[in-house]
Chains A and B, each alone.
Chain A
Amino acid sequence: MSLRTQQGPYFGSFGGRFVPESLIAALDELDAAYSEARTDPAFAAELAELHRTYTGRPSIITEAKRFAEHAGGARILLKREDLNHTGSHKINNVLGQALLAKRLGKRRIIAETGAGQHGVASATAAALFGLECVVYMGEVDTERQALNVARMKLLGAEVVPVTTGSRTLKDAINEALRDWVANVEHTHYLLGTVAGPHPFPVMVRDFHSVIGIEAREQVLELTGRLPDAVAACVGGGSNAMGIFHAFLDDADVRLVGLEAAGDGIDTPFHAATITMGRPGVLHGAKSLMLQDADGQTMESHSISAGLDYPGVGPEHAWLAEIGRAEYRGVTDAQAMDALRLLSRTEGIIPAIETAHGLHGALELGRELGPDGIVLVNLSGRGDKDMETAARYFGLLDAKAAERAAEADAHPTAAEEGQE
Chain B
Amino acid sequence: MSTPTIASPVAAAIAARKEAGSGALIGYLPVGFPDLDTSVDAAVALLENGVDVVELGLPYSDPVMDGLVIQKATQQALENGFTLRQGFEAVERIRSRVDAPLLVMTYWNPVMQYGVDRFATDLENAGGAGLITPDLIPDEAGEWMSASDAHALDRVFLAAPSSSDARMRQAVESSRGFVYAVSTMGITGARADVDAAARGVIGRLREAGATSACVGVGISTPEQVADVLTYADGAIVGSRLVSALAEGGVPAVGRLAAELATGKP
Contacts and interface: CB of A to CB of B under 8 A. Distances in A.
Q: Is the A/B pair a real complex?
A: yes
Interface of A: 16-22, 24-26, 28, 164-165, 170-171, 174, 177-178, 181-185, 278, 280-284, 291, 293-297
B132 to A, nearest CB: 12
A21 B137 contact: yes
A17 B113 contact: no
A164 B75 CA distance: 9
Interface stretch (B56-64, B223-231, B240-248): B56-64
Given A19-B135, A295-B109, A295-B114, A178 B167 contact: no
A295 B171 contact: no
A22 B182 contact: yes
B163 A25 contact: yes
Contacts of A183: 185
Contacts of B68: 164
8 contacts: A18-B136, A22-B161, A25-B167, A281-B135, A294-B83, A294-B84, A295-B84, A296-B110
A182 B135 contact: no
B185 A182 contact: yes
A21 B163 contact: yes
Nearest to A293: B113
A184 B185 contact: yes
Interface stretch (B14-22, B38-46, B93-101, B152-160): B152-160
A21 B109 contact: no
Contacts of A24: 137, 160, 162-163, 167
Contact of B140 (A18, A165, A181): A18
Given A22-B162, A24-B162, A165-B75, A280 B167 contact: no
Given A165-B75, A284-B135, 19 more contacts: A18-B108, A18-B137, A18-B140, A19-B64, A22-B158, A22-B182, A24-B163, A28-B164, A171-B62, A181-B187, A280-B112, A280-B113, A281-B135, A291-B113, A294-B84, A295-B60, A295-B109, A295-B110, A295-B111
Most buried by A among B63, B161, B187: B187
Contact of A18 (B71, B110, B135, B163): B135
B140 A178 contact: no
Contacts of A25: 160, 162-164, 167
Interface centre among A181, A283, A293 (most CB of B within 10 A): A181
Interface in B243-262: none
Contacts of B63: 174
B113 A21 contact: no
Contacts of A184: 162, 185
Contact of A21 (B64, B108, B159): B159
Q: Classify the interface of chain A: helix, strand, loop or mixed.
A: mixed
Which 8 A/B pairs are nearest by Cβ-Cβ distance?
A: A295-B113, A25-B162, A182-B186, A295-B110, A22-B160, A21-B158, A295-B109, A297-B61
A177 B62 CA distance: 11
B242 to A, nearest CB: 15
A278 B113 CA distance: 9
Contacts of B137: 17-19, 21, 24
B62 A282 contact: yes
Interface of B: 60-65, 67-68, 71, 75, 78, 83-84, 108-114, 134-137, 139-140, 157-164, 167, 171, 182, 185-187
B109 A164 contact: no
Contacts of A281: 108-109, 112, 135
B110 A294 contact: yes
A53 to B, nearest CB: 37
Nearest to B161: A22
Nearest to A178: B187
Contacts of A178: 64-65, 67, 187
A300 B222 CA distance: 44
Given A18-B136, A280-B112, A296 B185 contact: no
A24 B171 CA distance: 13
B86 to A, nearest CB: 10
A182 B109 contact: no
Contact of A181 (B83, B109, B157, B185): B185
A17 to B, nearest CB: 7
Contacts of A19: 64, 135, 137
B208 to A, nearest CB: 14
Given A20-B135, A24-B137, A282-B62, A294 B113 contact: yes
Given A18-B108, A293-B113, A295-B113, A165 B62 contact: yes
A283 B62 contact: yes
A58 B63 CA distance: 41
Given A291-B113, A296-B110, A26 B64 contact: no
Contacts of B171: 21
A21 B160 contact: yes
Contacts of A293: 113
Contacts of A181: 64-65, 185-187
Contact of A20 (B60, B67, B112, B160): B160
Contacts of B83: 294
A362 B114 CA distance: 41
B163 A280 contact: no
A17 B64 CA distance: 14
Nearest to B139: A17
A282 B112 CA distance: 11
Contacts of B157: 21
Contacts of B114: 294-295
Contacts of B65: 20, 178, 181
A16 B60 CA distance: 20
B187 to A, nearest CB: 5
A18 B138 CA distance: 10
Contacts of A182: 185-187
A174 B62 contact: yes
A296 B163 contact: no
Contacts of A22: 158, 160-162, 182, 185-186
Nearest to B87: A294
Nearest to A289: B109
A20 B158 contact: yes
B64 A296 contact: no
A294 B61 CA distance: 10
A83 B67 CA distance: 40
A53 B97 CA distance: 71
